Structure 1
């Protein structure tokens, strides 16, 4: 399906009001927000009830052992960069099958970071085939569907939600996937609500929260943590990215973004969540992401690489603890 095609059940003649319950909601056309809306009659006439695509989504996602969301309320903290590092680190274990899903629909960057820019997806009877950047690392992104990588995605929420649904329902990851790492955009809006709603029945292992040391980043991260708690998403832990700068030549360390309120570790203590570690700023990470190279292949002995791999180990431990909690509840 082309990304230019509207994936919703009906094209509404007017923009949705601010607190629109959604055209497929049980309250569509009947909510307080619907009063005076030009879409009211159309929304009232649409079919209600359970989403008919949910069984197909559940069937597809049940073939994935672990599902991790990478979140941050703040843009520019290195969330997509860390998603790419996490994907490379997991795929370094050739016994694992890893998938990365880029849900930053308006600003997809994982194809560039994972060296898959310019590739395209293929469709078969079994669904969309992701682009493989390694034998055991597949990637799905809207960038593979655009006629021009510089094309702007100017979509309303309903169209974004339709594409996310198709990513979850139609991407064929093979017979088994050990880890699906989902990169999300900043904020707590359409994309986040959609992915958590569609994945609710099969379960999300949890969320990895990424921040930088400054309070201006932590302000938005607090909102993301609150979102996870309200949405029932387990927080696997928080990582503080760009925490100091380690000179590649002299190994000297300095604080570029100095924490004014204690940084990520203090926030974790305050809110009672797991602190996974500090990752220093290393300009070679940006260089590798720009060229689509695996940072660990070239700079595996760097302080940043060691810090990231330590975070990944702790994250996998948290995933196992999460599975233990589920088995105890069962």
Structure 2
């Protein structure tokens, strides 16, 4: 994923890749069909982007960095990112930041009740928009004149925006930085892993729904994480059943025909962090830009969220101890 002067690898190279420093770069058998073949063969690849080291220095004040991923759209990834941020920020002693890098579909401003807000520039850089004193948000949605504006950008401009978010935003002292990503395994994902890699990413939380059509794409996301050596904190099964508030009968809106996330996690040897049931109040809280935890604090879904958030916190604590032991 090295990036040079306007030239960058556009995909994760195959496992048999001879490497850009090899005499066989772009000419080996494994290079056939690779989108980077011409670039490697030309010998024009330069060293790492200097911004990586600058971002590493900038991120020294951020203790934990978490990516929220999903190969499939519409599984509630941004909703989970928002709830994770709200849940962590319930501890007034913790400073939390939520970064939305879904450049073409920034929904975080709406979900967090910040639609129409603008980013302010200071001497130390861009200032996040704050929901609470200990919860700041940054999104390309704050840079648009209208929430209905379409962002029609190619990869390089998206990458430049992500770099700017990490490099130019005055994040300050942060306990948790949550990065909400778009669906898939493309430019935005490669960029965030590249730029944050040097600063150390705690890991990724992968969101899915129970049905096989979602699990197919989520398996690709897990394979992506393994190829780029991104630790997987675990998988969350969203929209996992619906309990009628009147009769209390449970229904499977998205039937887990192949065993759901639990079977997938068992087969791929990744942790299952938990299951969040469908709750109409979740969608209502997002539309109104309010915290679900404050609206329905004792609901089954709120309890599921809290259990998952606790497991993520436990993972981050263990990760911090291991890093201290290794230094």
Check whether TM > 0.5: yes
**2:32 — aligned with what?**
none
**1:81 — aligned with what?**
79
Aligned equivalents of 2:276, 2:235: Cα separation in 1: 11
Aligned equivalents of 1:35, 1:93: Cα separation in 2: 50
Q: CA deviation at 1:138?
A: 0.3
Q: How many residues align?
A: 308
**1:69 — aligned with what?**
67
| Structure 2 SS opposite 1:199 | helix
| Structure 2 SS opposite 1:62 | helix
Q: How does 1:1-330 map to 2 (within 5 A)?
A: 48-174=46-172, 176-330=173-327
| Structure 1 SS opposite 2:197 | coil
8 Å contact from structure 1 (residues 246, 303) kept in 2: no
> Over the residues paired in the alignment, what is the CA RMSD in angstroms?
2.6
1:201-220 deviations in whole A, cap 9, x for unaligned?
11000000111000111111
8 Å contact from structure 1 (residues 71, 209) kept in 2: yes
8 Å contact from structure 1 (residues 112, 289) kept in 2: yes
Aligned equivalents of 1:84, 1:327: Cα separation in 2: 29
Aligned equivalents of 2:217, 2:315: Cα separation in 1: 23
Q: CA deviation at 1:250?
A: 3.8
Unmatched 5+ stretches in structure 1: 1-7
8 Å contact from structure 1 (residues 20, 34) kept in 2: no
| Structure 1 SS opposite 2:311 | helix
Aligned equivalents of 1:20, 1:281: Cα separation in 2: 35
Q: CA deviation at 1:234?
A: 0.8
8 Å contact from structure 2 (residues 51, 195) kept in 1: no
8 Å contact from structure 1 (residues 237, 275) kept in 2: yes
Q: CA deviation at 1:18?
A: 7.6
Q: CA deviation at 1:271?
A: 1.2
| Structure 2 SS opposite 1:161 | helix
Q: CA deviation at 1:296?
A: 0.6
Aligned equivalents of 1:93, 1:73: Cα separation in 2: 31
Unmatched 5+ stretches in structure 2: 14-19, 28-34
| Structure 1 SS opposite 2:171 | coil
Q: CA deviation at 1:179?
A: 0.2
- Residues 1:36 and 1:256: Cα distance change in structure 2 (over 3 Å): closer
